Structure 1
Amino acid sequence: MIQCVVCIRPFSDSVPVQADQKEGKMTALSAPGAMNPDDKAAVEAALRLREAGGGTVAVLCAGPEKAEEILREALAMGCDEAVRAEVPFPDAAFAGAAASALKAALENRSWDLILMGGQAIDSDVAQTPALLAEALGIPQLTQAQRLSMRGGQVRAQCPFDGREVLLEAPLPCLATVTDKLAAPRYATFAGIREAYGKPLLHLEDKGEAAGEEALRVKTVMNRQRGRKGKILRGPSPQAAADQLLSFIRGEGLL
C-alpha cells in the first residue's frame, strides 16, 4: 500500500496575459480555470497505482479559493482527500513560491510518493517539482511516461536522448509525469456527487514564498513573427500559375 499525494494547479487560457511592472507579476494566472493537463495525468497515474496495490490518493493545490473547483474534479475522478494551501495564486515566474507553499502543506502529512505534472501548459517553466524535491530532500524522477511500484521502489520509464530509459528510486520520492502516461478517466455522475460531499481541507499559508525577491517579471510581449507576402496578379488563372511556378523556381524550391 502506498500513500500518494498529487500536487495540481489550475490554468486559464481565456484571459490575456498582462504584466504588472511595478509588482513584477503576470495577471493571467489570477483567474484559474481548468486542471493543468499534465497534472490530470498525474492524478490518473496515482489512481492506477492505488488500484494495483492499494493505498490512498490525496490531491494538493497551493492557490486561492477558486482553485477548489479542480480539487473537486480530482475528488470526482476518485481521489480520497483534497487539500488547498492558502497562498495567492503563484505567478508563473515564481516557482519557488509554489514549492515553498507545497512543502509547508506536506510537512505535517504522512506520504510515500508525490506526483506532479511535468510542466504547466501556460507558464511552461517546469521548475516547481525540482524545487519541491530539493526542499524535501528526496529523489526526483522526471517526465515519466510509465510508472509502477516494485519492492518499495518507484520505477519510471522516461524519455532520454530519443530513447526510453528505466529509472528506479526509493521511497519517499517525487515523480513528474506527462500527458502521454495515460488518458485521464472521466468523472462519473456518482463520483461528482460524492466529490461535493467530501470535506476539502484548507490550510493557512506557512511558506516563505521563496524566490520572489530573486526573480521579477519585467514585461510580457507577444512574439513578433514577420512573414513576407507576395500577391500574384495576372489576367487569368493560367498567368497566375505561371507566376507562381516562376517564383518557386527562382527561390530554388524546384
Structure 2
Amino acid sequence: MSLRIVVCVKYVPDATGDRHFADDLTVDRDDVDGLLSELDEYAVEQALQIAEEADDAEVTVLTVGPEDAKDALRKALSMGADKAVHVEDDDLHGTDVMGTSLVLAKAIEKTGYDVVIAGMASTDGTMGVLPAILAERLGVPQVTLLSEVSIEDGVVKGRRDGDTASEQLEASLPAVVSVTDQSGEARYPSFKGIMAAKKKPVESLDLSDLDIEADEVGLEGSWTAVDSATERPARTAGTIVKDEGEGGKQLAEFLASQKFI
C-alpha cells in the first residue's frame, strides 16, 4: 500500500517586504508579495526524501488561504510533490491557529494520510504550536522539531537537537512530524519540475466540503485577538562620536545613557 504523506504549507508575506496590519488588525496580505514559507520548504524536502526511499509513496501538499496561496502549492509541486489540496473560503479571513488546525485536520482526514509533515513554525505568525495541536485533533502521536527524520516499517524516527542534548524519538504511524531548518537544504525546482507542476492536480475545498461552520473559524471563531498595534517608528540617524581625544569618554557616556553599561 502506498505511503500517504501530507505536507502542510503556508503562503506568507515576504519578510523583506513592507509588512503591516490592516484596519481589522489582521496582517495585510494585499499590499505585499507572498511566497511559500521558507520553513515549510524544509518539510517539503523531507517528505520528498522519504518518498524517494519508500517503495511506493505519494506526497500531497495542503494549504489554507486565499486564491494567491496557490503560488505556494505550485512551488511545492515544482519541487516534486505529486498533488495539492487548497482550502479557500472567504469566511476563513482572520482565522487563528486553533481554527487553522481544525480546517487542516478535516482536510487531512478527507485526503487520507499515514504521516503529516510540517515546518517548525510559519514565518509570519512564528507560533510553532500548530503541529502539536493538529496531532491532538487527529488523535495521533507527534514527533516534532526534528533535525533528522526517516520512516521504516510503519515507524517514524528522528533526532531532536536541544541546547544541551539530542534525543532519538520514534512513533508508530499515523503520526504528525515537524522538521527544523537544520534538517537539510531544500532543493530548487528544475525547469522540468516547473513545467510538470502545471499538469499536477490541485483539489479545491471550502468550509462546506469539510463540514465546518463559519462561526468556528475567522475572526468570530478565533480564540485569540489582537487588541492594538503600533507601527515601529522609523529608524533615526545614528549618533556619530568623533575621536578628538575625548572619543572614549563620549562613547562611554552614550552607552551609559542607553543603559548598555
Q: Same fold (TM over 0.5)?
A: yes
Written as runs of structure 1 = structure 2, the 5 A alignment for 1:237-248 is 240-247=243-250
Q: Is the 8 A contact 2:84 2:201 kept in 1?
A: yes
Q: State whether structure 2 residue 217 is matched by structure 1 residue 217.
A: no
Structure 1 CA distance, aligned partners of 2:251 and 2:96?
48
Aligned partner of residue 196 in structure 2, secondary structure = helix
Moved more, 105-114 or 30-39: 30-39
Alignment: residue pair count:
244
Provide the residue aligned with 2:21 in structure 1: 18
Deviations 1:122-169 (A, max 9, x none): 221112222211111111111111001233211111122432211111
SS in 2 for 1:107: helix
Q: Give the Cα–Cα distance (whole angstroms) in 1 for the partners of residues 70 and 35 of structure 2.
A: 11
From the superposition, tell whether residues 218 and 248 of structure 1 become closer, same or farther in structure 2 (CA, over 3 Å). closer
The offset of 1:245, in angstroms, is 2.8
- Aligned partner of residue 106 in structure 1, secondary structure: helix
Match of 1:143 among 142, 145, 148: 145
- In 2, the alpha carbon distance for the partners of 1:41 and 1:148 equals 14
Q: What amino acid maps onto 1:18 in structure 2?
A: F
For each residue in 1:52-72, what CA deviation from the matched residue of structure 2 results, as whole angstroms up to 9, or x when unmatched? Answer: 113111110111111111111
In structure 2, the residue matched to 1:84 is: 86
TM-score, length-normalised on structure 1?
A: 0.84
8 Å Cα contact 1:39-1:116 kept in structure 2: yes
Is 1:6 aligned to residue 7 of structure 2?
Answer: yes
What is residue 160 of structure 1 aligned with on the other side? Answer: 162
Work out the CA distance in 2 between the residues paired with 1:165 and 1:224: 43
Q: CA–CA distance in 1 between the matches of 2:236 and 2:65?
A: 40
Name the stretch that deviates more: 78-87 or 23-32: 23-32
TM-score scaled to structure 2, two decimals? 0.82
Over alpha carbons, which structure has the higher Rg? Answer: 1
Unaligned residue ranges in structure 1 (runs of 5+): 234-239
CA distance in 2, matches of 1:232, 1:59: 54
Q: Which runs of 5+ in 2 are unaligned?
A: none
Q: Which moved more, 1:207-216 or 1:67-76?
A: 207-216
> Cα–Cα, structure 1 residues 173 and 138, in superposed 2: closer, same or farther, change >3 Å?
same
Q: Find the counterpart in structure 2 of residue 100 from structure 1.
A: 102
On the 8 A contact 2:19/2:32 being kept in 1, the answer is: no
Distance 1:85 1:213, change over 3 A: closer
What is the root-mean-square deviation of aligned Cα atoms in Å?
Answer: 2.8
